[in-house]
Amino acid sequence: MTRRFLALLIALALISPIFGVWLANLINYHEPLDVAADLINQAANRTILNDTRYQMNWTPFIDYTVPGLPDWAGYIVSAFIGLAIYLVLYMALVGRRGRVKRTS
């Protein structure tokens, strides 16, 4: 990974809440399949499809949030958590060998 590429990743992570949180709240975003499930339940007038995501949740970072942090900050931290996972994998699996040499 070059420095410029890492800088790009960090920049994307920093601006991500503008899209993932702020704009999403602005238009009252819901997952399309959640909306479909609600419509199905409404049409049938009883609960056919039940949202069990929160009962069977296994992670503190559900939906890119971090407990105790406002949504926008949690979103940025989530982006860095994700990037950190790939970076650790990268260091473990690529390390010093097998790099693609830049020729230009």
Partner 1 sequence: MLAYGYYAYRHSELQKYMELVLSLAAAIFVAQMLNWPIPGGTSLHMVGGALAAILVGPFNAFFVLLLVLLVQALVFHDGGITTLGANVINMGVIAPLVGYAAYKALRPRVGVFWSAFVAGWASITVAGTAAGLEIGLSPWFPYGWTISVPAMAGWHALLGLVEGAITGFVVLYLSKRAPEYVRL
DSSP secondary structure, 7-42, as one string: HHHHHHHHHHHIIIIIIHHHTT---HHHHHHHHHHH
Told to check if 32 binds partner 1 by CB under 8 A, we report: yes
**Count of all residues that appear for the chain in the document:** 104
Q: What sign does the CA torsion over 5, 21, 59, 37 have?
A: negative
Residues 35-94 that bind partner 1 (CB under 8 A): 35-36, 40, 44, 48-49, 53, 57-59, 61-64, 75, 78-79, 81-83, 85-87, 89-90, 93-94
- Single-letter amino acid code for the residue at 88: V
Instruction: Give the interface with partner 1 as residue ranges (CB under 8 A).
Output: 1, 5, 8-9, 12-13, 15-16, 19-20, 23-24, 26-30, 32-33, 35-36, 40, 44, 48-49, 53, 57-59, 61-64, 75, 78-79, 81-83, 85-87, 89-90, 93-94, 98-104
